Structure 1
Amino acid sequence: MMSIKNKVQLIGHAGQDSEIVDLESGKKVARVSIAVNEDYKNANGEKQTRTEWFNLVAWNSVATIFENYVQKGKKIAIEGKLTSRSYEDKGGTKRYVTEVLVNEVLLLSNKESE
Structure 2
Amino acid sequence: MTINQMNHVNLIGQMSSDPKFVELKDGKRIARFSLSTRETYLDDEGQTKSVNNWHNVTAWGKWVPVLEQLGSKGQALAIEGKLRSRFYNNKSGQKKSFTEVEINDLVIL
Q: State TM-score, norm by structure 2.
A: 0.90
One-letter identity of the residue aligned with 1:35: S
Describe the SS at the equivalent of 1:44.
coil
Specify every segment of 5 or more residues in structure 2 that has no aligned partner in the other structure, as ranges. Answer: none
Give the paired residue count: 107
Give the structure 2 partner of residue 39 of structure 1.
40
Give the structure 2 partner of residue 60 of structure 1.
61
Once the two structures are superposed, what CA deviation does each residue of 1:30-65 show, in whole Å capped at 9, x if it has no partner?
000111101011112111111111110011211221
One-letter identity of the residue aligned with 1:83: R
Distance (whole Å) between structure 2 residues aligned to residue 23 and residue 66 of structure 1: 17
Give the structure 1 partner of residue 6 of structure 2.
5
Specify every segment of 5 or more residues in structure 1 that has no aligned partner in the other structure, as ranges. Answer: 109-114
One-letter identity of the residue aligned with 1:102: I
One-letter identity of the residue aligned with 1:63: V
Greater helix content = 1
Superposition misfits of 4+ residues, deviation over 4 angstroms: none
Q: State TM-score, norm by structure 1.
A: 0.86
Aligned-pair CA distance for 1:94: 1.3
Percent identity, please: 37
Aligned-pair CA distance for 1:3: 4.8
One-letter identity of the residue aligned with 2:80: E
Alignment of 1:1-114 (within 5 A): 3-108=4-109
Query: Aligned Cα RMSD in Å?
Result: 1.5
